Amino acid sequence: MKTITNIIYPPFALLAFACFALSPQSKAANTPNTPDPGPLPISNTTDGQLALSGVTGLYNSAFGIYALLSNGAASFNTGVGADVLLVNTANEQTAMGAAVLFSNTTGINNTGVGAFGLFFNGTASNNTAIGHRALENNDVTAAGLGNGNTAVGAQALTQNIDGPFNDAVGAFALLNNTDGFSNNALGESALFSNIHASGNTAIGDAALAFNDSSGNGLANNNTAVGAAALFNNVDGSENTALGTGAGQNVIAGFNNTYVGDFVGALAADESNTIRIGDLSNGNGAGSLACFIGGIFNNFQPVGGSVVEVTLDLATDELGWDVGPNQGGSAPSVPSRSAPLRRSAPGAPAQRSAMLNGTVGKVEKLEATVAQQQKQIDTLTAQLREQAAQIQKVSAQVQMSKTASRVVNNQ
Mean pLDDT, rounded, for 193-215: 97
pLDDT at 51: 93
Q: What percent of the chain has pLDDT over 70?
A: 60
Euclidean distance between CA atoms 184 and 199, whole angstroms: 8
Mean pLDDT, rounded, for 166-178: 97
Q: Label residue 315 by pLDDT band (50, 70, 90).
A: low
Q: Is the pLDDT of residue 205 over 50?
A: yes
Euclidean distance between CA atoms 286 and 43, whole angstroms: 69
pLDDT at 397: 60
Q: Beta strand 223-225 with 201-203: parallel, antiparallel or unpaired?
A: parallel
Euclidean distance between CA atoms 81 and 69, whole angstroms: 12
pLDDT at 381: 72
Mean pLDDT, rounded, for 340-361: 47
Q: Label residue 264 by pLDDT band (50, 70, 90).
A: confident
Q: Residue 320: enclosing H or E segment and its boundaries?
A: strand 317-321
Euclidean distance between CA atoms 348 and 367, whole angstroms: 16
pLDDT at 296: 41
Euclidean distance between CA atoms 318 and 383, whole angstroms: 72
Mean pLDDT, rounded, for 367-386: 68
Q: Label residue 357 by pLDDT band (50, 70, 90).
A: very low
Mean pLDDT, rounded, for 223-252: 96
pLDDT at 183: 98
**Strongest mean pLDDT among 124-128, 307-311, 314-318, 319-323:** 124-128
Please provide the average confidence, as pLDDT, over all residues in the chain.
77
**Strongest mean pLDDT among 25-39, 107-121, 296-310:** 107-121
Angle between helices 348-355 and 359-409 (to 10 degrees): 130
Sequence-separated (6 or more) residues with CB below 8 Å from residue 274: 256, 257, 258, 290
Euclidean distance between CA atoms 258 and 124, whole angstroms: 38
Other beta carbons within 10 angstroms of residue 233's beta carbon come to 34
Given a contact cutoff of 8 angstroms between Cβ atoms, the answer to whether 137 and 159 are in contact is: yes
Residue type at position 395: A
pLDDT at 313: 63
Q: Which residue has the higher pLDDT, 293 or 235?
A: 235
Phi and psi torsions of 111, nearest 5°: -135, 125
Sequence-separated (6 or more) residues with CB below 8 Å from residue 45: 60, 61, 62
Phi and psi torsions of 408, nearest 5°: -65, -40
For 208-233, what is each residue's pLDDT tens digit?
999 999 999 999 999 999 999 999 99
Euclidean distance between CA atoms 333 and 331, whole angstroms: 6
pLDDT at 71: 93
pLDDT at 334: 45
Mean pLDDT, rounded, for 270-285: 66
Mean pLDDT, rounded, for 248-277: 88
Q: Beta strand 317-321 with 308-312: parallel, antiparallel or unpaired?
A: antiparallel
pLDDT at 239: 97
pLDDT at 377: 72
Euclidean distance between CA atoms 300 and 181, whole angstroms: 46
Count of positions (residues) in the chain: 410
pLDDT at 114: 96
Q: Is the pLDDT of residue 322 over 80?
A: no
Which of 391, 383, 385 shows the shortest CA–CA distance to 40?
391
> Nearest 10 degrees: CA dihedral of 342, 238, 196, 166?
100
pLDDT at 354: 39
pLDDT at 286: 47
Task: Kindly calculate the radius of gyration of the chain based on its CA atoms and give it in whole angstroms.
Answer: 30
What's the start-to-end Cα distance of the chain, in Å? 82
Euclidean distance between CA atoms 99 and 95, whole angstroms: 8
Q: Is the pLDDT of residue 385 over 60?
A: yes
For 14-69, what is each residue's pLDDT tens digit?
443 344 334 333 333 333 344 445 567 779 999 999 999 889 999 999 999 999 99
Q: Is the pLDDT of residue 268 over 80?
A: yes
Q: Which residue has the higher pLDDT, 327 or 177?
A: 177
Q: Is the pLDDT of residue 350 over 50?
A: no
Euclidean distance between CA atoms 61 and 43, whole angstroms: 9
